[in-house]
Amino acid sequence: MLSEDQGNEIVIEVEDVPPEVQRHLPSNRIVPEKTLRLANSSFSMVSSTSDIDVTDAQTGSRRHHKRAKRSLRFSTSLTESFSQTLLSAESVGVDTPCPSHENIQGQKLIASLMSMTSRDRMKAIRNQPRSMEEKRNLRKMVDKEKSKQPHGTLELSCCAQCLNSISLAYRRPRSGLSELLDSVSLWQKTLKVIGGKFGTSVLSYFNFLRWLLKFNIFSFIVTFSFIIIPQLTVAERNTLRFTGLEFLTGAGYFTDTVMYYGFYTNSTIRHRIGGTSYHMQLAYIFTIGTCLVICLFSLLFSMARYFRNNFINPHIYSRGITKLIFCWDFTVTHERAVKLKQKNLSTEIRENLSEIRQENVKLTLNQRLTRLSAHLAAWVVSTGVAVACCVAVYYLAGNNSEFLESHRNPGAVLLLPFVVSCINLAVPRFYSAFRLVERYETPRQEVYMLLIRNIFLKISIIGILCYYWLNIVALAGESCWETLIGQEIYRLLLMDFVFSLADSFLGEFLRRIIGMHFIKSLGLQEFDIARNVLELIYAQTLVWIGTFFCPLLPFIQMITLFIMFYVKNISLMMNFQPPSKAWRASQMMTFFILLLFFPSFTGVLCTLAITIWRLKPSADCGPFRGLPFFIHSIYSWIDTLSTRPSYLWVVWIYQNLIGSVHFFFILTLIVLIITYLYWQITEGRKIMIRLLHEQIINEGKDKMFLIEKLTKLQDAEKRANPSSYALERRDVEQPSPFHAWGHDAAHDLRFRQSVQEGNPQA
């Protein structure tokens, strides 16, 4: 047998073949050495066999000489095919023309790319089904061909090139800033861990908490910049003594600080003669109004965005299977990141499978009637409990003034917040126990029902408290009733925060100890999403109402939310288990923001509107002292501007737009029409997505039907004409030239080996 090096040398010698064989070789192409090595290494049998056949041809065997020519012809055609493949991939940059189909397609692609703008060309190259190296080479070739164009053509597109360069220069910093914000996003890694271990349902609560934190940070920045800082520049020294009890009661030392409404001045701030003046009344009311308007548009925008992302989602029809199968990011190489990614994927698969299994569950008529009766009984009991709690709060608030007069203890003011916080802590837990009786088909329905019951309870309590503040406290003749309301809201917010901390550190921890050591059948509890979310909505509603009376409430809420995130995260990891029924909560954020908007935010707007338009400010404190109503500060400002010709356009806007009832009626009508059109477009898109999904399913069924029909026709043809089928089968089973040549070559190899064994000198 010959070695591999000898075989390669003989192949090079055999390339000098007769003219009848040279006709098979291309005349205008040079086969690279890499191609010959590839052909020899991939088809070593061809090389060795042709070597043996050439040796036999030198001994005079005609039969072996023919086989040698046939094997050489096959090797030559194979080498030519390899060279054509390599040349077709490199033909774009070679001067020698190549009439292949690939070359023509490449030239057409380059010509079409040259006629595009730079931005469209980049998009087209990016969408090409090629590797990154091929895309880079294609871009270089297009740039090279474009540089060969006449100078006049470049001058014509100078403006477009300038605009594209400006757009590119703007796009790069924007993408860099977006990547930077994503990298420093608050609690991004922690949220990924929570989502991977507990699923999207529990993750929705923490996302909502982070969203509210950003909300309060913005509100605090606005109020601090336009209300608190100007007041600090003219504030007098506080002479009251600090005892530490003020942190619980909110009274005492804090009364004469920028925390409450009564500390702010009603004069115009001017630090030097002839300097710029700052009107505190206008600043106070416009800052609060701007915060509320921005909150309104932010809520509307967030609802629309989450609705578009979660409800109009084609993944709800495909179950996101393609995302689960093809979404692995191979750039993730860190061990902890890989494990976290695996947990996220496994949790999402469990959620999808759980929803599919729940949809396939069908109940009988008796089961449906039983569940309907349980639902009605639970609603009757929950409504009765909520009404009883509201009545208790109403009577307690009505008698609170008499109680405070008879008890001069500073801690007596904590009675009303304590009772309200006890109700908010105990009643939602009582509602959560209804799940043992109701047994909803899906966990999502259970969360929705608990949210509705809890929001009815908490908003009713806040409504009763607002009635108490605006109709009893405000009309009681107190010296500074706005500050008293601010202190009440501060105590409610602080007491709710204290109860939440105690529930997390004591209640949930004790429940874990009982379930793990004493009553092991209970096990670990699951995270109550509805109760915890309603705590956030309740606190945020108090903050919106109290910002007018206590401008520092957004800062206090910002601190409490920051602490609550870490407390809830630690308690979640230690005291809770993942949901037993996994379910996707992609639509929960939309529902949370909807509840925050209505009835929470709309109720806040109604309360503040009554305060500003109907109530008389205190005569001895606050920026609006001495006015019949709060809104009269705006009226006085408009009257002042009407005497200045340069500001008449502001007066016209106020009289014809802001102060006009017809304008708000038309604006409301336009908003309703736009909302209806958007809803119709949404419904149409959902229907179209469903129809397209059904069409894809039907096309798959049609293909299966056609394949079955084709199979049946082939079977019938085989039975009708068995002789032609046997002939066709013989043709199919007949070995190809390469197979036959390989069989003969193997026979010659065995023959050659036997000859060499018989004659070692051969």
Least Cα distance to 306 among 586, 532, 585 occurs for 586
Q: Is 269 in a helix, a strand, or coil?
A: strand
Instruction: Please give the pLDDT value at position 561.
Output: 94
Question: Which whole number is the average pLDDT over 281-287?
Answer: 93
Instruction: Please give the pLDDT value at position 26.
Output: 43
Number of Cβ within 10 Å of residue 645's Cβ equals 8
Q: Note the pLDDT tens digit of each residue in 634-657.
A: 999 999 888 888 888 888 888 888
Tell me which H or E stretch contains 73: helix 62-90
Instruction: Please give the pLDDT value at position 205.
Output: 92
Question: Which whole number is the average pLDDT over 306-316?
Answer: 57
Instruction: Please give the pLDDT value at position 241.
Output: 86
Q: Is the pLDDT of residue 410 over 70?
A: yes
Instruction: Please give the pLDDT value at position 67.
Output: 45
Q: Which two tokens stand for residue 86?
A: 């390599």
Instruction: Please give the pLDDT value at position 755.
Output: 42
DSSP E strand stretches across 424-494: none
Residue 9's pLDDT band, with cuts at 50, 70 and 90, is very low
Which tops the pLDDT comparison, 323 or 187?
187
CA 180 from chain center: how many Å?
Answer: 17
Residues 630, 615 contacting (CB under 8 angstroms): yes
Instruction: Please give the pLDDT value at position 600.
Output: 92
Q: How many CA atoms lie within 13 A of 521 on its CB side?
A: 0
Q: Is the pLDDT of residue 604 over 80?
A: yes
Contacts 24+ apart (CB under 8 A), 462-465: 462/538, 462/541, 462/542, 462/545, 462/603, 463/603, 464/390, 464/393, 464/394, 464/397, 465/393, 465/397, 465/420, 465/492
b/e per residue, 100-124, with b = 16+ CB within 10 A? eeebeebeebbeebeeeebeebbee
Q: Which two tokens stand for residue 331?
A: 């750039």
| 24-33, 212-221, 726-735: least confidently modelled range | 24-33
Q: Which two tokens stand for residue 549?
A: 């009376």
Q: Is the pLDDT of residue 206 over 90?
A: yes
Q: Is 694 in a helix, a strand, or coil?
A: helix
Instruction: Please give the pLDDT value at position 331.
Output: 64
- In sequence order, which residues have a C-beta less than 8 Å from that of residue 64 and are 6 or more positions away? 52, 53, 56, 57, 748
Least Cα distance to 536 among 430, 460, 424 occurs for 424
Residues 578, 197 contacting (CB under 8 angstroms): yes
- Distances in Å between the Cα of 511 and the Cα atoms of 571, 672, 685, 711 are 11, 48, 47, 64
b/e per residue, 27-42, with b = 16+ CB within 10 A? eeeebeeebbeebbee
Residue count of the chain: 762
Least Cα distance to 493 among 577, 581, 559 occurs for 559
Question: Which whole number is the average pLDDT over 479-500?
Answer: 94
Residue 473, Cβ density class (10 Å: 0-12 exposed, 13-18 middle, ≥19 buried) = middle
Q: Is the pLDDT of residue 171 over 60?
A: yes
Distance of alpha carbon 525 from alpha carbon 579, whole angstroms: 9
φ and ψ of 526, to 5 deg: -100, 155
Q: Is the pLDDT of residue 632 over 60?
A: yes
Handedness of CA 252, 254, 257, 260 (dihedral sign): negative
Sequence spans of domains, the chain: 199-628
Distance of alpha carbon 268 from alpha carbon 282, whole angstroms: 10
Which tops the pLDDT comparison, 287 or 73?
287
Least Cα distance to 355 among 579, 201, 686, 584 occurs for 584
Instruction: Please give the pLDDT value at position 158.
Output: 62
Angle in degrees, CA 116, 121, 124, rounded to 5: 120
Residue 461's pLDDT band, with cuts at 50, 70 and 90, is very high
> What are 269's strand-pairing partners?
278
| 248-252, 440-444, 729-733: least confidently modelled range | 729-733
Which tops the pLDDT comparison, 27 or 401?
401
Residue 426's pLDDT band, with cuts at 50, 70 and 90, is very high
Residue 483's pLDDT band, with cuts at 50, 70 and 90, is very high
| 20-29, 361-370, 380-389, 566-575: least confidently modelled range | 20-29
Residue 170's pLDDT band, with cuts at 50, 70 and 90, is low
Distance of alpha carbon 730 from alpha carbon 171, whole angstroms: 65
Residue 484's pLDDT band, with cuts at 50, 70 and 90, is very high
Q: Note the pLDDT tens digit of each residue in 121-147.
A: 888 888 887 888 888 888 888 888 777
Q: Is the pLDDT of residue 40 over 70?
A: no
> What are 525's strand-pairing partners?
576
Q: Is the pLDDT of residue 45 over 60?
A: no
Distance of alpha carbon 324 from alpha carbon 8, whole angstroms: 50
Question: Which whole number is the average pLDDT over 405-421?
Answer: 87
Residue 404's pLDDT band, with cuts at 50, 70 and 90, is confident
The amino acid occupying position 297 is F
What's the mean pLDDT when you consider all of the chain? 76
The amino acid occupying position 502 is A
Question: Which whole number is the average pLDDT over 603-623?
Answer: 92
Instruction: Please give the pLDDT value at position 470.
Output: 92
Instruction: Please give the pLDDT value at position 94.
Output: 40
Question: Which whole number is the average pLDDT over 737-751?
Answer: 45
Threshold 0.75, pTM exceeds: no
Q: Is the pLDDT of residue 305 over 70?
A: yes
Q: Is the pLDDT of residue 750 over 70?
A: no
DSSP line for 157-195:
THHHHHHHHHHHHHHHHHHHHHHHHHHT-TTHHHHHHHH
**In the chain, % of residues over pLDDT 70:** 71
The amino acid occupying position 286 is F
Question: Which whole number is the average pLDDT over 622-643?
Answer: 91
φ and ψ of 195, to 5 deg: -65, -35
Distance of alpha carbon 673 from alpha carbon 669, whole angstroms: 6
Tell me which H or E stretch contains 268: strand 268-269
b/e per residue, 290-325, with b = 16+ CB within 10 A? ebbeebeeebeebbeebbeebeeeeebeebbeeeee
Question: Which whole number is the average pLDDT over 57-83?
Answer: 42
Q: Is the pLDDT of residue 720 over 70?
A: yes
| 396-410, 552-566, 625-639, 726-740: least confidently modelled range | 726-740
Q: Is the pLDDT of residue 544 over 70?
A: yes
Residues 211, 302 contacting (CB under 8 angstroms): yes
Residues 416, 473 contacting (CB under 8 angstroms): no
